[in-house]
Amino acid sequence: MGQGYFVTGTDTGTGKTTVSCALLRAFAAQGKKAVGMKPVVAGSENGHWHDVEQLIATSNISAARAHVNPYAFDPPVSPHIAAQQAGVEIDLAVIQHAYQVLSSQSDVVIVEGAGGFLVPLNAQQTGADLARALNLPVILVVGMRLGCLNHALLTAQAIKIAGLTLAGWVASGIDPQMLALEENIATLEQRLDGPLLGKVPFDLEMDIQESARLLDIVTL
């Protein structure tokens, strides 16, 4: 079975897909078979889920879409609401099985969560329960903007409470006008119990290969 990492964010729209794709390229550059997984996605454009498409395009092995993305919903709302509207209940056992299949086919599986770490997936379970069910170390994508210190530290606390390891974190530059950016990064380096893996501009025009070069995955 291959190794795996669960990528979560301090919020939605922090650049998780960009970082997940960069991680896939970085592991591929080490000669590893790397595949991306998006267990749950909500929000499509004309029947296309761009996060899923990007992960598939960046993976260097071919895998069944049903395993890469077990649950896909059209409305851009919280997964548990989207599932309710579709008359579906998100079952973590289904996701676990899909992950096991992907892990048997690859050296590394990058699992991108939906929204933040505690986003509800069904009536009882959250993204934290999914990460715990998969028993994966977590990579935290911190959206660098005003308020990110609190969001990052709370998320790190939730990861610890879930009994999981913070394998590392990425500073995602979603606000190019953020004041005291480097001071905020230094504060998080001091307070987060995991290494800074890199600083990645949240630039949709940036080549994924370039983003991959900004990450240091030696500690993973």
Q: Which of 16, 32, 38, 160 is catalytic?
A: 38
Sole residue written with tokens 């929000």: 43
Radius of gyration of the chain (CA): 16
Does 16 participate in catalysis according to the annotation?
no
- Give the C-alpha distances (Å, rounded to integers) separating 68 from 5, 41, 77, 154, 206: 14, 11, 20, 29, 24
Burial class (CB in 10 A: 0-12, 13-18, 19+), 153: middle
Specify whether the CB–CB gap between 178 and 184 falls below 8 A.
Answer: yes
Catalytic residue numbers, as ranges: 38
